[in-house]
Amino acid sequence: MKNKGILIVISGPSGAGKGTVCKQLLDNNTYWLSVSATTRTSRTGEEEGKSYYFLTKEEFNTKIEQGDFLEYAENYGNMYGTPRSKVMEKLDEGQVVILEIDIQGALKVKESFPDGIFIFLLPPSMEELKHRIINRASETPESLMTRFKSAYKEINYISKYNYAVINDTVDSAVAKVESIITAENCRVDRMKEKILDSKEGLIHEQLYD
């Protein structure tokens, strides 16, 4: 049985601008964004339950054992995971559910949600990616290098995704993601279920036959 909602996974290398794009996407639309759990310490301005659920390593491990995560991955020494139950609940309600996660996590989600929509967010150039990573005040020189090297490797996974969006300006990247979601909502297989639900005469019969 297919979920009524649409699962949209937005991922890409560190510095591609996933956070900024998702924030504006959520400001413009009534999509539901999954809040991840992490073992990393909170940065200035981050709020518990809004930016992340900040957990200890022990708490995180207990949740792994209980099967509470849809996927989890280690990222630069910290654990990150997507809480399963909320995502399933929102999909059952028919909502557009957004996951903003890294590439390892996206590939794991694809195993259980092959019908999800996987969007790879790209920086306009590797030079720009480097600037963006360097401009993050929270990074040490070592972690900058690690993030930059893994970004290079991660771009190879783009072929596993359905869509690629270049984040040259936030407005245009957000507009492209919105267009993808609109198009996905109009797909015959999704519309068919809605039309069958509403049992509307001719259109219903034509699609049904």
Chain contacts with ligand 5GP (rule: CB under 6 A)? 14, 18, 36, 40, 71, 73, 75, 80-82, 100-102, 104-105
Rounded-to-integer distance, Cα 203 and Cα 149, Å: 52
Q: How far is the CB of 100 from ligand 5GP (least distance, A)?
A: 5
Complete edge-to-edge strand list for the sheet that includes strand 163-166: 32-33, 96-100, 6-11, 117-122, 163-166
**Of the two residues 53 and 204, which places its CB atom closer to ligand 5GP in the complex?**
53
Q: Which residues of 156-179 are buried (b: 16+ CB within 10 A; e: fewer)?
A: ebeeebebebebeeeeebbebbee
Name the β-bridge partners of 124.
Answer: none
Q: How far is the CB of 14 from ligand 5GP (least distance, A)?
A: 5
Residue matched to tokens 């930016």: 51
Asked if 133 contacts 69 with a C-beta cutoff of 8 angstroms, the reply is no
**Of the two residues 33 and 181, which places its CB atom closer to ligand 5GP in the complex?**
33
**Of the two residues 31 and 102, which places its CB atom closer to ligand 5GP in the complex?**
102
Q: How far is the CB of 76 from ligand 5GP (least distance, A)?
A: 7
Q: How far is the CB of 135 from ligand 5GP (least distance, A)?
A: 13
**Of the two residues 134 and 195, which places its CB atom closer to ligand 5GP in the complex?**
134
